[in-house]
Amino acid sequence: MNWALGPAGTAMIGAWLHHRPVLAFDFDGTLAPIVAEPAAAAMADTTSALLRRLALRQPCVVISGRSRVDVGLRLAGIPVSEVIGNHGSEPWLDPEPLRRWTGQAILFLRTHLARLAGVELEDKGISLSVHYRRAFARAAVITAVQQAARCLSAGALIRGKYVINLLPPTALDKGQALLRMMGQLAQTHAIYVGDDATDEHAFTLGRRHGILGIRVGHRRGSQAALYLKQQSEIDRLLTLLGNG
């Protein structure tokens, strides 16, 4: 992985920008810094202004694990081409079968995790998140959620930063959502920026699908081609993308 803001990284980004790519971003940890209270997550004013300017010039998409409504409110009217929620399932899939699974799953999880203090369940309508930042027995939480996922026949279990996401069996992932968005916009190339395990579904698509992955935070084994050293570099990246 090369640093996205170094000479090799900027040259690679510049070459991709010649294709007028879709510019796709995760929200938490990418456009907005990670915070202890997920409800308090917000972009910096400078980030918001840079993203607004960029979205007026070329297709921008936000793909988040949050619900589509939740992310849309946090974008405060920035004219992105699409807001994709619940790890890729919104707005592509019929929500009713997913909601039925989620409704049953959250009842099971409340019972299964009741003995573990500091765990917070987040019902996002068509997916679930188990937050365990405040849990003392974090290893026990992870084990219990893995057991529950098997019992529930979850479509995917994706670990993030003190959170485990459970997706219904038919749910889409971020990579699938990005490919659908590229098709809808008739674009052959995309740049995808994300910071978490959920974003690896997009990173792994790589050059063979015309996707340049940029990971926020260097991680050994990531399939992203480039990385930012930390989330605070997002404004420099947005400026670079806008000047391409």
Active site residues: 26
CA 238/CA 27 separation, integer angstroms: 14
Neighbour-count burial for 8-29, b at 16+ CB within 10 Å, e otherwise: ebbebbeebbeeebbbbbbbbb
Are the C-beta atoms of 244 and 14 separated by less than 8 Å? yes
Contacts of 72 (CB under 8 A, 6+ apart): 83
CA 71/CA 41 separation, integer angstroms: 10
Indicate the DSSP class of residue 126. Answer: S
Indicate the DSSP class of residue 27. Answer: T
Q: Which three-class secondary structure state does DSSP give residue 179?
A: helix
Instruction: Look up residue 4 and give its two tokens.
Output: 């996205």
CA 80/CA 82 separation, integer angstroms: 5
